[in-house]
Amino acid sequence: MSVAYRYSNHNRHHHHHHLLILFVLLLQVIVPIKSDNNEAEILLRFSKSLQKNDATANWNTKVSPCDKKTDRPNWDNVICENGFVFGLQLENKGLSGTIDVDALKDLPNFRTISVMNNNFEGPIPNLSKLAGLKTAYFTNNKFSGQIDNSFFEGMHWLKKLHLGNNQISGKIPSVFGQLPKLTELRLENNKFEGQIPDFNQERLIDMNFANNSLQGPIPHGLASLKPSAFEGNNLCDGPFSKCTSEPKVALWTIILVVIAVAAAVAAIVVVIIILRRGKQTPETETRPIPTPSGAAAGGATNQTGAPSAAELNKMEQGSNQAIAARDQSPEGTAVLNTNKRPEVQAVQQKLLFLKDDIEKFDLPDLLKASAEILGSGVFGSTYKAALSRGRVMVVKRFRQMNNVGKEDFHEHMRRIGRLSHKNLLPVVAYYYRKEEKLLVSEYVNNVSLAVHLHGNKSRGQPSLDWPTRLKIVKGVAKGLLYLYNELPSLTAPHGHLKSSNVLLNESYEPLLTDYALLPVVNLEHAQEHMIAYKSPEFKHNGRITRKNDVWTLGILILEMLTGKFPSNFLQQGKGSDTDLATWVRSVVNEDMTEVDVFEKEMRGTTNSEGEMMKLLKIALGCCDLDMKKRFDIKEAMERIEEVKERDGDDDFYSTRGLSDDYTQVSMNI
């Protein structure tokens, strides 16, 4: 009897064990599906707090918010990452109501929210409920009231907080200075008062307190910011005059200054000693990534004999003699041979590949490859490397790319690696080092659009005809629209669109390069060199917008139609607001019936002036100074697609036959 009982008990225990395993397996199947349903239910609950919520019109439980296979959103204005809801981008939707953070807090992977350019009113929501949030953009709304410290307590991951152009009052919460990851804080054009609290973060990149009612001294941690970050207040110290103080305080200040100067002198002495010792460092010590083998110095050119990127850069700076100067200069000589340098063996890290359908190679393969310098741009040098098996790659070396940490850089590169479009040059691999980065792409056996527009002219070679230019414009617009659709979290998905960053393959299909790099480039370097920061809205308001790349597209089209270098107009002393679009407007008559701006070499196609004029007006619509009237990327793409190679009999477009909306757009810019 006892044996039977033990046997029965053992069977019962074994049966329970199997039930437990079955239950765990069922959970693995059920939980992901339930997670999708949960995300849908959470977002639908959140949408009920919004008024005029056309932005959520296609949100429904019949389809999950994110596609697990493609990692793309099925719902409008949803940002997906790894198949889950990563954030919301509800910009320019005319929304009002409230932002239900109590609903959003149940999304485990929620990291970013943007409700810029809407009509939200009342206090800022309590974002501390979204503990994992990294970025929050609430600019250009009607938020008001004071912000309590508790609204941001415990937000250890928050990096970017934009609250500019609202009506928020009271003191700036001291908790802002305690957010460890914070790099951007924009509070401009509000009603904040009192003193600015202390900020002790090490990587404060973009801070703006302008046009509030602040007073008192600027904290030491913010003293290095530009005056424009504080203008429109009653502040002192930092970039402004020193604050007045009692004699005892002034004496103490002098003492502190003396101590600081003494410390600085001591630090300089230490640095000098270290540098002297550094000269005696053994050859086997690890050094920066060496230049590829056989790379030619400065003046080297590619096999086509076309001007290098460096020469085009000089041309863009107003030196149109660059090509002639190169033709008279001796050829460069090899400056490095990595086979003889011991530091090559010290490079242990490997290239990280972003594409699976490519034959793998490693960093030493690139360093040993026969190479030549294609040019040096605002980021660094570009090399053409011929690998041992006949494959040719292009390696771009970046030194000003430390705007984000290592983890965020890898994440952003993976995002770029997922992009795939016939008008984008893919980044196939990259190398990460804190001091510099390498981006690797396929070599295109042709030259850039800039060379075809400006370089061939100086060498007596034929220029591009109208059908080819129109084909290039359409390809560039398609690639840009794709970037907008695939990178909705980026304000400027390209950020550096110009003719030298448009490569042409053998069939003159355009390939965009240097796209989506704005988030990782050092802010000061980006503001000084990248095209996104040359736009009118940045010049006047200190910010870039979602229509920024549309402006650069318009300038690029005008460059192609006129043959003029965009930057030349700034070089000629015509004023800080002068650009190529301004020049075009100045030389055409009011009704745009008499236009003499088209490049002569392009006019070979008969019966095409009407279509050229149509594209010219589209370009001006892309460059409208009024942000509300400027085309968005979708409208620009639709209008560009309507342009034909020749004026058709059934659909004739002449300088007088264009629809009223084109004329109105062009004359209101």
Please state the residue numbers annotated as binding site for ATP: 396
Specify binding-site residues.
396
In the block, tokens 């699976």 appear at 356
Short-list 199, 143, 152, 190, CA closest to 171:
190
Residue count of the chain, please give it.
669
Short-list 318, 310, 315, 436, CA closest to 376:
310
At 539, which helix (H) or strand (E)?
Answer: helix 536-541
Q: Is 328 exposed, middle or buried (0-12, 13-18, 19+ CB in 10 A)?
A: exposed
Q: In whole angstroms, give the CA distance from residue 27 to residue 17.
A: 16
Helix ranges (DSSP H) in 329-462: 363-368, 406-417, 449-450, 456-458
Edge-to-edge strands, sheet with 381-386: 352-353, 427-432, 437-442, 392-398, 381-386, 370-376
Q: What is the DSSP code (8-state) at residue 285?
A: S
> How many angstroms separate the first and last alpha carbons of the chain?
99
**Distance of CA 295 to CAs 12, 195, 380, 383, Å?**
75, 55, 14, 7
Handedness of CA 349, 373, 455, 573 (dihedral sign): positive
Q: Read off the tokens for 300.
A: 């080297």
Tell me the pairing of strands 502-504 and 206-208: unpaired
Q: In whole angstroms, give the CA distance from residue 648 to residue 650.
A: 6
Q: In whole angstroms, give the CA distance from residue 311 to residue 332.
A: 14
The gap from C-alpha 43 to its chain's centroid, in whole angstroms, comes to 28
CB 109 within 8 A of CB 35: no
Task: State the Rg of the chain over Cα.
Answer: 29
